[in-house]
């Protein structure tokens, strides 16, 4: 259903492409990019712009690369083939600096009529290699109708024609993301047709805001983006489109927050002598000031008549889990239930254990926490499900399995999602719909999120931060161990580990892969943001044929849990020590057994994958050795390191790498060794990553991605748009006076299948 504008006419942006471009072209666009409407096509922004006058340097083209270049035809020659019937047309194109490329066409001699020496154009194709010379076989091309110089009209003495030629010569040529079936200029032409018929559009941005920020109107911005007269036009277009995108998104998010306030929820308040007070009295430590402050904010949220929707971000080990437990007790006081969702079974099981520890026998008996996981036995699961459905259990811990249809709650008051970045928005939503009355939602994340990212990705949540870790933590010292430069340091890694064991401590050894065939990704433990690092680790692992399973630090492949376990067990330094493996391919029971034994101090060394990355809390563990540390992302290494130095003992983290000094992978490792500040590292991480990874897979994929806006670079724009959105909705909550904006939001939500912002 096309959205209706205030005047009742369907917006021109919602018009079908088939109506404007004809069925065949429209189908081509739908096949290539999934576009169906005019608005979608107009959002297809040029990747870059070529200048007619400036030829592309031809010496930088790599064989196998798909290129779009501006060049000049230098010579054309047709010859017949020796072996077969037919002819080859060869055109030599140059960059004006003595570098050439050959275009070859089979049986297309007629092209010689267009490809005359001196003519310039854009050429697109894949760079091939024919007998040592680079060529494009059957390239797509479009020739400029003038040669880029303004002398075409001078002989006729027609001044107007000369001016026109000069104008054209200056026009940047947009180079669009193209496919093999739709070349850049075909896209340009289609967009041109659309723009020619596009009426004046209402602008979602208020004229006063446009004036304040000196932004061109929307319709004009589209024109300047796709048909710039000069390169400066592009910057003006982008500035306006960026702001528009930010405003639409922020208004949608702020509106959603306001809508939540209109939703009824059950207020949950504590009373003197109640569960929370009894719990606090039992705590072996005092809350940090940040924990107090965040606890107060949550308390106020829970007491409100609308659902809480809060994100708590905090440094690893800052005590977020404790904050969540206190929130669950608050809800339990009025008989309500809480669901605590962890990203892995290891973590869910650990939560259940720490609940038992913190609650003590009395509270434990009253609250009866249970666990629901995908892999537990059916009897145990039935019992847990019953406890949840009857209300007998007031805290239900679990993994994604809690999202299943068969899990019912008697009175679900609070949903806590631990380590948010492993949870999609959709999953968060699935849980929210589980209560009869929408439950309060608390999201915890240990990956510090820069403010504008939080505003963009979690803009519908209130955000609190726990900055300080509990006082008296001795901290972790981190060292890079560069084996390429210092192969001899390998022995020192293990003797240092042994020293810690001798002092009564325990150790983690982390490997990027389980065995030669399997990278760790089978429990979806990776934060979306780190999927890329993992992926490239895997493809490198695949490329390395014949990796040596018995050599943890072999250059051939990444260190594996299986190989490293064997190797460590065989080392004299670890004789008589208990060394066990932990990874996603073990059964839930086995994982739990290993983790529990480790927590009890019965295992000395755990050789693991990233399954231990988040949340695992064993205060006696003091050493972490990360093998092939360059295969992990910055934030991931920081998370891993957060597993040690959690108790009274200082931690030592050794980041072992074969990466060359000053290589990008080595830079990542060194950055983590140099800083303990999660926020600082998150910033570095963002700089080293593509934007899409920041938003997670869902948001970066397909049409729900941001087109013009970059969450890190455009922080100021996002902040301004946020304020504008708040001001606007404050005065006009239903956006009645802002139909163009309301329409743009509706369009965005529809395109995102309502997944980007969640359904409500």
Q: For binding to Mg ion (CB under 5 A), which residues are involved?
A: 321, 615
Distance separating alpha carbons of residues 37 and 202, to the nearest angstrom: 17
Near ligand ADP in 444-463, by CB under 6 A: 446
- Considering CB distances under 5 to 8 angstroms, the limit depending on partner class, which of ligand ADP, Mg ion, none binds residue 139? none
Q: Does 617 bind ligand ADP (CB under 6 A)?
A: yes
Tokens representing residue 484 in the block: 């390429």
The secondary structure of 219-249, three-state, reads: HHHHHHHHCCCCHHHHHHHHHHHHHHHHHHH
Closest C-alpha to 453, from 200, 742, 246: 246
Q: Does 646 bind ligand ADP (CB under 6 A)?
A: yes
Q: Is there a contact between 16 and 30 (Cβ–Cβ < 8 Å)?
A: no
Q: Which of 74, 161, 166, 287 binds ligand ADP (CB under 6 A)?
A: 287
Q: Is there a contact between 448 and 467 (Cβ–Cβ < 8 Å)?
A: no
Q: Residues binding ligand ADP: what is the number (CB under 6 A)?
A: 18
Cβ proximity to Mg ion: between 223 and 617 the closer is: 617
Q: 600: Cβ–Cβ under 8 A, 6 or more apart, which residues? A: none
Q: Which of 250, 318, 553, 665 binds ligand ADP (CB under 6 A)?
A: 318
- Considering CB distances under 5 to 8 angstroms, the limit depending on partner class, which of Mg ion, ligand ADP, none binds residue 130? none
Q: How far is the CB of 322 from ligand ADP (least distance, A)?
A: 4
Q: How far is the CB of 196 from ligand ADP (least distance, A)?
A: 57
> Backbone phi, then psi, for 664, in 5-degree steps?
-55, -40
The interface region with ligand ADP, picked from 95-103, 284-292, 629-637, 654-662 by CB under 6 A, is 284-292
Cβ proximity to ligand ADP: between 580 and 617 the closer is: 617
Q: How far is the CB of 420 from ligand ADP (least distance, A)?
A: 12
- Considering CB distances under 5 to 8 angstroms, the limit depending on partner class, which of ligand ADP, Mg ion, none binds residue 464? none
Q: Which of 92, 226, 310, 320 binds ligand ADP (CB under 6 A)?
A: 320
Q: How many of the other CB atoms lie within 10 Å of CB of 208? A: 9
**DSSP 8-state code for residue 16:** B
Q: Which of 50, 249, 322, 407 binds ligand ADP (CB under 6 A)?
A: 322
Q: Does 319 bind ligand ADP (CB under 6 A)?
A: yes
Cβ proximity to ligand ADP: between 461 and 599 the closer is: 599
> Backbone phi, then psi, for 49, in 5-degree steps?
-125, 140
Q: Does 601 bind ligand ADP (CB under 6 A)?
A: no
Q: Does 356 bind ligand ADP (CB under 6 A)?
A: no
Q: Is there a contact between 375 and 586 (Cβ–Cβ < 8 Å)?
A: no
Distance separating alpha carbons of residues 11 and 609, to the nearest angstrom: 52
Q: Does 556 bind ligand ADP (CB under 6 A)?
A: no
The interface region with ligand ADP, picked from 73-81, 254-262, 285-293, 724-732 by CB under 6 A, is 285-293
Tokens representing residue 441 in the block: 């939602």
The number of angstroms, rounded, from the C-alpha of 381 to the middle of its chain's C-alpha atoms is 34
- Considering CB distances under 5 to 8 angstroms, the limit depending on partner class, which of ligand ADP, Mg ion, none binds residue 619? ligand ADP
The interface region with ligand ADP, picked from 7-15, 451-459, 613-621, 676-684 by CB under 6 A, is 613-621
Start-to-end CA distance of the chain, whole Å, equals: 19
Q: How far is the CB of 314 from ligand ADP (least distance, A)?
A: 5
Q: Does 103 bind ligand ADP (CB under 6 A)?
A: no
What ranges in 171-288 are assigned the alpha helix state H?
184-197, 207-213, 218-226, 231-262, 275-282
- Considering CB distances under 5 to 8 angstroms, the limit depending on partner class, which of ligand ADP, Mg ion, none binds residue 704? none
Q: Does 686 bind ligand ADP (CB under 6 A)?
A: no
Q: Which residues pair with 311 in a beta bridge?
A: 443, 463
Q: Does 288 bind ligand ADP (CB under 6 A)?
A: yes
DSSP strand pairing (87-94 vs 100-106): antiparallel
Q: How far is the CB of 341 from Mg ion (least distance, A)?
A: 12
Distance separating alpha carbons of residues 212 and 243, to the nearest angstrom: 12
Q: Is there a contact between 215 and 239 (Cβ–Cβ < 8 Å)?
A: yes
Distance separating alpha carbons of residues 145 and 185, to the nearest angstrom: 13
Cβ proximity to Mg ion: between 321 and 330 the closer is: 321
Tokens representing residue 38 in the block: 């005019």
- Considering CB distances under 5 to 8 angstroms, the limit depending on partner class, which of ligand ADP, Mg ion, none binds residue 267? none
The interface region with ligand ADP, picked from 191-199, 303-311, 333-341, 615-623 by CB under 6 A, is 615-623
Q: How far is the CB of 228 from ligand ADP (least distance, A)?
A: 50
Cβ proximity to ligand ADP: between 315 and 693 the closer is: 315
> Side-chain half-sphere of 630: how many Cα atoms within 13 Å?
24
> Backbone phi, then psi, for 122, in 5-degree steps?
-105, 135
**DSSP 8-state code for residue 703:** G
Q: Does 21 bind ligand ADP (CB under 6 A)?
A: no
Q: Does 314 bind ligand ADP (CB under 6 A)?
A: yes
Cβ proximity to ligand ADP: between 614 and 654 the closer is: 614
Tokens representing residue 737 in the block: 């006076």
Interacting residues toward ligand ADP by CB under 6 A: 285, 287-288, 291, 314, 316-322, 446, 470, 615, 617, 619, 646
């Amino acid at each position: 259903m096309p959205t209706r504008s205030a005047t009742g006419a369907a917006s021109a942006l919602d018009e079908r492409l088939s109506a404007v471009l004809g069925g065949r072209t429209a189908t081509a666009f739908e096949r290539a990019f999934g576009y169906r409407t005019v608005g979608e096509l107009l959002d297809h922004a040029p990747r870059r712009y070529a200048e007619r006058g400036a030829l592309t340097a031809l010496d930088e083209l790599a064989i196998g690369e798909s290129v779009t270049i501006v060049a000049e035809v230098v010579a054309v020659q047709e010859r017949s083939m020796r072996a077969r019937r037919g002819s080859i047309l060869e055109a030599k194109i140059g960059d004006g600096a003595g570098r050439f490329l050959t275009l070859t066409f089979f049986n297309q001699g007629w092209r010689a009529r267009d490809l005359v020496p001196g003519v310039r154009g854009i050429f697109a194709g894949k760079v091939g290699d024919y007998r040592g010379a680079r060529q494009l076989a059957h390239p797509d091309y479009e020739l400029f109708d003038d040669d880029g110089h303004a002398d075409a009209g001078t002989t006729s003495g027609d001044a107007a024609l000369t001016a026109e030629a000069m104008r054209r010569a200056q026009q940047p040529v947009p180079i669009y993301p193209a496919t093999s079936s739709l070349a850049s200029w075909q896209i340009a032409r289609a967009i041109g047709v659309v723009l020619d018929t596009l009426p004046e559009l209402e602008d979602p941005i208020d004229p006063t805001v446009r004036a304040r920020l000196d932004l061109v109107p929307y319709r004009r911005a589209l024109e300047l983006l796709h048909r710039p007269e000069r390169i400066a036009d592009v910057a003006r277009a982008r500035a306006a489109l960026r702001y528009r995108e930010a405003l639409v998104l922020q208004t949608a998010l702020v509106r959603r927050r306001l809508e939540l306030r209109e939703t009824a929820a059950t207020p949950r308040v504590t009373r003197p002598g109640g569960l929370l007070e009894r719990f606090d009295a039992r705590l072996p430590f005092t809350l940090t000031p940040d924990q107090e402050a965040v606890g107060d904010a949550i308390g106020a949220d829970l007491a409100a008549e609308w659902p809480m929707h809060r994100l708590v971000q905090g440094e690893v080990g800052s005590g977020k889990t404790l904050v969540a437990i206190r929130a669950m007790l608050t809800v339990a006081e009025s008989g309500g239930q809480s669901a605590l969702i962890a990203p892995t079974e290891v973590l869910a099981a650990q939560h259940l254990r720490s609940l038992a520890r913190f609650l003590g026998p009395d509270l434990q008996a009253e609250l009866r926490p249970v666990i629901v996981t995908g892999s537990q036995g059916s009897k145990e699961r039935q019992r847990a499900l019953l406890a949840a459905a009857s209300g007998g259990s007031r805290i239900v811990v679990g993994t994604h399995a809690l999202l299943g249809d068969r899990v019912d709650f008697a009175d679900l008051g609070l949903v806590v999602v631990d380590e948010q970045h492993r949870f999609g928005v959709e999953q968060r939503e699935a849980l929210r719909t589980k209560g009869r009355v929408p439950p309060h939602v608390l999201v915890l994340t240990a990956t510090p999120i820069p403010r504008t990212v939080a505003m963009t990705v979690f803009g519908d949540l209130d955000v609190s931060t726990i900055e300080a870790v509990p006082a008296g933590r001795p901290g972790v010292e981190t060292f890079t161990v560069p084996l390429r430069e210092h192969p001899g340091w390998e022995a020192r890694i293990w003797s240092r580990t042994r020293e810690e064991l001798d002092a009564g401590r325990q150790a983690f050894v982390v490997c990027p892969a389980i065995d030669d065939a399997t990278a760790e990704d089978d429990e979806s433990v990776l934060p979306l943001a780190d999927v890329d690092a993992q992926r490239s680790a895997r493809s490198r692992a695949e490329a390395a044929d014949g990796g040596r399973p018995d050599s943890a630090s072999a250059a051939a492949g990444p260190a594996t849990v299986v190989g490293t376990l064997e190797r460590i067990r065989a080392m004299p330094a670890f004789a008589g020590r208990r060394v066990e493996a932990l990874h996603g391919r073990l059964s839930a029971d086995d994982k739990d057994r290993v983790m529990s034994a480790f927590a009890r101090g019965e295992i000395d060394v755990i050789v693991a994958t990233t399954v231990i990355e988040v949340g695992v809390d064993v205060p006696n563990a003091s050493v972490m050795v990360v093998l092939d540390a360059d295969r992990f992302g910055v934030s991931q290494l920081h998370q891993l390191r957060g597993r040690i130095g959690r108790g009274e003992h200082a931690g030592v983290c050794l980041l072992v790498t074969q990466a060359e000094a000053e290589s990008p992978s080595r830079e990542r490792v060194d950055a983590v060794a140099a800083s303990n500040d999660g926020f600082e590292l998150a910033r570095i991480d963002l700089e080293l990553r593509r934007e899409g990874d920041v938003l997670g897979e869902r948001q970066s994929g397909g049409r729900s991605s941001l087109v013009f806006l970059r969450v890190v670079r455009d922080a100021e724009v996002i902040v301004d748009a946020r304020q504008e959105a708040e001001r606007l909705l404050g005065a006009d909550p239903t956006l009645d006076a802002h139909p163009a904006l309301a329409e743009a939001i509706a369009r965005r939500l529809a395109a995102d299948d309502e997944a980007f912002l969640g359904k409500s």
